[in-house]
Amino acid sequence: MSYNPNPLYAAPEDWRAYSGVLSRRVFAFILDYLIVLLLCIPAGIVLFFLSIVTLGLGFLLYPALFVIVAGIYFGLTVGGRSQASLGMRAMGIAIVRVDGRPMDFLTAIVHLALFWILNSVLTPLILLAGLFTERSRLIHDLLVGTATVRTA
């Protein structure tokens, strides 16, 4: 696979692409989790009817419903063509890989899982890393090899 010079996939070198990204990420996070909560309503209804068909076995999935819905949502949106969830698009940001390859479903899921793990350990301190690293990258961005850039 060769390097793709498309600015949507490759992390730009210009510092302006990373200006104000941290605050935009916070607002995108809030919007995205409101969307995930709204998506949990129809998913819960579908799971209810699935539970009736499976004679109650589907009810065991209710504790993990939010995780499943969020994983599918972020995997399809961040791992999709736009490389941004709906909240990220509204805030004018996208996630890119620093090696220039496009985000895929699995990388988006790993990015989300690392965010949840590190956020549960470090709570809001996870945002402090963005103040001291190049390109305002957070710890899970460094581990996965991604960066968040402005698209607007």
DSSP per position, 72-118: HHHHHHHTSTT-S-HHHHHHTEEEEETTSPPP-HHHHHHHHHHHHHH
pLDDT surpasses 80 at 24? yes
**What are the angstrom distances between the C-alpha of 84 and each of 46, 121, 148?**
26, 25, 9
pLDDT of residue 8: 56
Give the residue-averaged pLDDT of 74-84.
94
Q: What is the pTM of this model?
A: 0.87
Cα(108)–Cα(80) distance, integer angstroms: 9
**HSE-up (13 A, CA, CB side) for residue 139:** 17
Q: What tens digit of pLDDT does each residue of 43-58 get?
A: 999 999 999 999 999 9
Cα–chain center distance at 111: 7
Which of 15 and 151 is assigned the larger pLDDT?
A: 151
Q: What tens digit of pLDDT does each residue of 126-150 get?
A: 888 888 888 889 999 999 999 999 9
